[in-house]
Amino acid sequence: MLNLANASNLSFMKNKICSFVLLLTVACTSCTKKTPEPVKIPDNNSNFEFLSLTAAKEVLVVGEQTDITATANGSGLTYEWTAPIGILSGEGKTIQFTACCEGDHPVTCKVKDSKGNSSEKTINIFANP
């Protein structure tokens, strides 16, 4: 009798643990679902070309800002900017970059056209204290 009661309690506890884990899993996964971007096949006959990535100033002091410009040929161009450290502001082919701390600040721009072609370049901005 006692064993049956223990087994029943054990089963109850297992159910509770499973429910808790399930709740946690749902909470974690329900918010991470993202719609995948449609895959475009690059068009080799387009005139797409990422020509250059240049900064108005490549050496700054911490807190100073500079313009960085991506120059590319092609149709329907979009510019994606990323930097591991520092602050990017603005959008499009020219953005403003602010150095947050001393040292190297790599800034990367990925240019895409409407025909599925893409290319990226990185420029390094150095900041003095």
User: Which stretches of the chain bind other proteins, using CB under 8 A?
Assistant: 13, 16-17, 20, 23-24, 27-28, 31-32, 62-63, 65, 78-91, 95-96, 98, 100-103
Residues forming a β-bridge with 72: 50
Minimum CB distance to other proteins smaller for 7 or for 23: 23
Minimum CB distance to other proteins smaller for 38 or for 84: 84
Minimum CB distance to other proteins smaller for 26 or for 44: 26
Nearest distance from C-beta of residue 27 to other proteins, angstroms: 6
Nearest distance from C-beta of residue 94 to other proteins, angstroms: 12
Q: How many CA atoms lie within 13 A of 41 on its CB side?
A: 1
Minimum CB distance to other proteins smaller for 32 or for 44: 32
Residues contacting residue 76 through CB under 8 Å, at least 6 positions apart: 113, 114, 115
Q: Output the CA–CA distances (angstroms, integers) from residue 56 to 38, 45, 73, 99, in the order listed.
A: 35, 33, 20, 14
